[in-house]
């Protein structure tokens, strides 16, 4: 599955100053994933791009502070999540739990009985909406948008083992606490690893 989107320079109102090279590199690296994630949360591409642009504008204004953080990527992800929530509230919208298209590409397209799969998926969407934010993020990115553990770890500023741990905890919550019967696609053995450090 391809995630490439045309890179767009963040808007910088009232200024034509040259952007810091490391900021431009960060923007080019993460914007496609950010937009895909925000689109699944907000339900449409226009709102997603607006939220992502707002997040990058905020990051640009305090870029030296961002770089001083222990994990700039983790800090940037929090800024992105907050910008997405703010836009949703400003538009008086209830965020799309998963964006129906996200899991349809992975689950419904492979279902023997699509109608039953869709009915089951409705319960899954609702259950995912109740997950802690980090678990919800990794479930959406991995199972919904088909990003690898390494790509997710890089974007969220945590370790691949932390991503795997969040996936495992999320699957347990979905399968047991919320009564979701359908198993999410198992993580390949090559990605499971031996360490389990739940990162927040």
Alpha carbons 134 and 52: distance in angstroms, whole number: 18
CB 162 within 8 A of CB 199: yes
Average pLDDT, integer, range 18-29: 95
- pLDDT tens-place string over residues 152-165: 999 999 999 999 99
* Structure-block tokens of residue 37: 């994630």
Mean pLDDT of 32-42: 93
**Beta carbons within 10 angstroms of residue 196's beta carbon:** 12
Does the structure show a pLDDT above 70 at 131?
Answer: yes
The whole-angstrom separation of Cα 152 and Cα 73 is 11
Q: Are 108 and 118 in contact (CB under 8 A)?
A: yes
Residues whose CB is less than 8 angstroms from the CB of residue 56 and which lie 6 or more positions away in sequence, other chains included: 10, 27, 31
pLDDT of 111 higher than 70? no
Q: Bin 33: left if φ > 0, else alpha if -120 < ψ < 50, else beta.
A: alpha
| Dihedral angle over CA of 82, 87, 94, 27, nearest 10 | -60
Yes or no: say if 134 and 154 are a contact pair by the CB < 8 Å rule.
no
Residue 151 token pair: 């790509």
Between CA 82 and CA 184 the distance in angstroms is: 27
């Amino acid at each position: 599955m391809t995630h490439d989107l045309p890179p767009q320079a963040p808007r910088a109102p009232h200024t034509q100053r040259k952007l810091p090279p490391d900021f431009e590199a960060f923007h080019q690296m993460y914007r496609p994933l950010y937009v895909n994630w925000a689109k699944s949360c907000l339900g449409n591409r226009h709102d997603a791009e607006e939220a992502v642009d707002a997040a990058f504008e905020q990051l640009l204004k305090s870029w030296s502070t961002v770089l001083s953080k222990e994990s700039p990527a983790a800090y940037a992800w929090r800024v992105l999540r907050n910008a997405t929530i703010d836009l949703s509230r400003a538009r008086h919208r209830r965020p799309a739990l998963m964006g129906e298209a996200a899991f349809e590409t992975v689950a419904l397209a492979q279902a023997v009985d699509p109608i039953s799969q869709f009915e089951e998926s409705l319960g899954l969407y609702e259950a995912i909406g109740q997950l802690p934010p980090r678990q919800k993020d990794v479930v959406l990115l991995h199972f919904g948008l088909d990003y690898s553990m390494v790509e997710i770890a890089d974007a969220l500023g945590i370790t691949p083992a932390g991503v795997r741990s969040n996936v495992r905890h999320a699957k347990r919550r979905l399968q047991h606490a919320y009564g979701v019967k359908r198993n999410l696609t198992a993580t390949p053995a090559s990605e499971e690893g031996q360490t389990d450090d739940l990162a927040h």
